[in-house]
Structure 1
Amino acid sequence: MQPSPAEIARTLAAGHLPAVAHIACRPGPVPVRHVTDNQGRVLLLVPAEGTVATALRPQDGNDDTALVLDIRDVPPMASSPSLGRVWISGWAAQLTGDDARAAALDYADTDACGDLLDIGESQALYRMDVAEVRYERNENLVEIDPDDYAEAAPDPLRNIEFDLIADLADHHMSEMSDYVRRQLGKAARPGDEPKVVRLDRYGFLVRMGGRSARLAFPRPVTDRHDLAHLLHPILCRRCTAHEETAA
């Protein structure tokens, strides 16, 4: 198993990566700070009197403003392949009162920044309803149904992917190398040193010289603790063998 395009799009849009906005009838693009709520709607946190807030002010009697959010993946390692790029199109409107307070809590679930305390004063919060999602990787463009995008869940390991890969490389290289060779069997070539270069809820991508292989977990993992539980038999084979002997 591996992530679907809708899941990758939700992961890229979650709020852990830099984004730029192309705002209708305005010069740009402009960098924006954002997250997505549990329905995949984009929340934009901007200075109330800044360039972005000025560009987002509705015109011609409208209540909202059309824009496109452009988000590129930033691979965790120099040797890691990119997950690609996502464009999210829709209409953004400023939130006030109870709507702003509820959305601020949603924002804090991903990024509990201090500026959330200044919404309504020096900061403004906008919500963008998603109308179109496009995902590009390796020059292949996929149109994602907005409902599929909304129903998908961001990968729970993306924000800690660098830490996880670095930990495997620093402390478990030998165990991971043995595990990968066992899984690949005859496909593993002598002299190739397997390196984990990407990791998600479904498995990990390993690079060996000029080749790559994806190895799947027995089931999708839910968080870092669940991943540690799943990898324990791989990384602590001696402990597992001792436990089985004792039993």
Structure 2
Amino acid sequence: MQPSPAEIARTLAAGHLPAVAHIACRPGPIPVRHVTDGQGRVLLLVPAEGTLAVALRPQDGNDDTALVLDIRDVPPMATSPSLGRVWVSGWAAKLSGDEARAAALDYADTDACGDLLDIGESQELYRMEVAEVRYERNEKLVEVDPDDYAEAAPDPLRTVEFDLIADLADHHVAEMSDYVRRQLGKNAKPGDEPKVVRMDRYGFMVRMGARSARLAFPRPVTDRHDLAHLLHPILCRRCCDPAT
């Protein structure tokens, strides 16, 4: 098993990666702070007097502004492959009153930054209704259904992926190497030293010289604690083996 394009798009758009906005009839691209709420809608936190706020002001009597959010993956390690790039398109409208307060709470679930306290003064909050999602990886472009995107969940390990891979590299090289070799069987070549380079809820990717392989977990994991529970028999074989 591995993440679907919709799941990867939700993971990239979640708000943990840098993004730029391309706004219709405006110079750009413009860097933007954002997160996505539980439905995948984009929330934009915007300085009230900044370039982005000016660009987002509706024209011709409209209540919203068309834009495209462009987000590229930042791999956790220099040797890690990129998950690609996602473009999320839609219409953004400024929020106020109860809507702004509710959206600020949604924003804080991902990024509890102090600027949320200044919404309505030095900061503005916009919500973008998603109309189109495109995901690109290795020069292959996939059109993601907006409903599939909305129903997908961001990967729970993305924000701690670097820490997890670094911990395995620092403390569990031998155990992971043994585990990978057992899983690969005859496909494991002498002299290859498997290194974990990516990890998600479904499994992890290892690199062995010029080759790479993806190994699946027995089931999708729900969070870091669940992953630790699942990996415990792998990383602590001696303590789990009744013969030792």
TM-score (norm 2): 0.99
Give the aligned residue type for 1:6: A
Aligned partner of residue 239 in structure 1, secondary structure: helix
Residues 167-216 of structure 1 show CA distances to partners (whole Å, capped at 9, x for unaligned) of: 00000000000000000000000000000000000000000000000000
Aligned-residue CA RMSD (Å): 0.8
Query: What's the CA shift string for 1:126-148, capped at 9, x where partnerless?
Result: 00000000000000000000000
Q: Tell me how far apart the structure 2 counterparts of residues 46 and 126 of structure 1 sit (CA, whole Å).
A: 8
Mapping of residues 72-91 of structure 1, within 5 Å:
72-91=72-91
Q: How does 1:18-37 map to 2 (within 5 A)?
A: 18-37=18-37
Residue equivalent to 1:12 = 12
1:158, distance to aligned residue in structure 2 (A): 0.2
CA deviation map 1:83-142 (0-9, x unaligned): 000000000000000000000000000000000000000000000000000000000000
Q: Which residue of 2 aligns with 1:98?
A: 98
Q: Could you tell me which residue of structure 2 aligns to residue 134 of structure 1? A: 134
Identity %, equivalent residues: 89
Q: Secondary structure at the match of 2:104?
A: helix
Amino acid at match of 2:34: H
1:115 is paired with a residue whose SS is: helix
| 1:53 lines up with 2:53 in the alignment | yes
Alignment partners' CA distance in 2, 1:55 and 1:30: 9
Task: Tell me the TM-score normalized by structure 1.
Answer: 0.98
Structure 1 partner of 2:67: 67
Deviation at 1:245, TM superposition (A): 5.3
One-letter amino acid of the counterpart of residue 182, structure 1 = R
The 1-side partners of 2:24 and 2:55 are apart by: 8
Aligned residue identity for 1:55: A
Give secondary structure in 2 for the equivalent of 1:117: helix
User: Where does residue 231 of structure 1 map in the other structure?
Assistant: 231
Q: Deviations over 1:40-95 (max 9, x none)?
A: 00000010111000000000000000000000000000000000000000000000
Distance 2:24 2:121 in 1: 25
Aligned residues: 244
The residue correspondences of 1:206-245 to structure 2 (distance < 5 A) are: 206-241=206-241, 244=242
Q: Which residue of 1 aligns with 2:157?
A: 157
SS at match of 1:136: strand
3-state SS of paired residue (2:59): coil
AA matched with 2:126: Y
- In the aligned structure 1, how far is the partner of 2:173 from the partner of 2:110? 31
Residue segments in structure 2 that go unaligned for 5+ positions in a row? none
For 2:143, the equivalent position in structure 1 comes to 143
The corresponding residue for 1:185 is 185
Q: Residue 113 of structure 1 aligns with which residue?
A: 113
Amino acid of the residue matched to residue 237 of structure 1?
A: R
Q: What amino acid is the match of 1:24? A: A
Which one-letter code corresponds to 1:44 in the other structure? L
SS in 1 for 2:164: helix
Distance 1:30 1:42 in 2: 15
SS where residue 107 of structure 1 aligns?
A: helix
Q: Distance in 1 between matches of 2:243 and 2:64?
A: 66
Long gaps (5+) in structure 1: none
- Which SS does the other structure have where 2:170 is aligned? helix
Give the secondary-structure state (helix, strand or coil) at the position aligned to 1:102. Answer: helix
| Cα displacement string for residues 8-34 of structure 1 (whole angstroms, at most 9, x for unaligned residues) | 000000000000000111000000000
Aligned-partner SS, 2:16: coil
Question: What is the CA–CA distance in structure 1 between the aligned matches of 2:183 and 2:123, rounded to whole Å?
Answer: 52
How far, CA to CA, are the matches of 2:205 and 2:38 in structure 1? 27
Look up the match of 1:200.
Answer: 200
What amino acid is aligned across from residue 197 of structure 2 in structure 1? V
- The Cα shift of 1:156 comes to 0.2
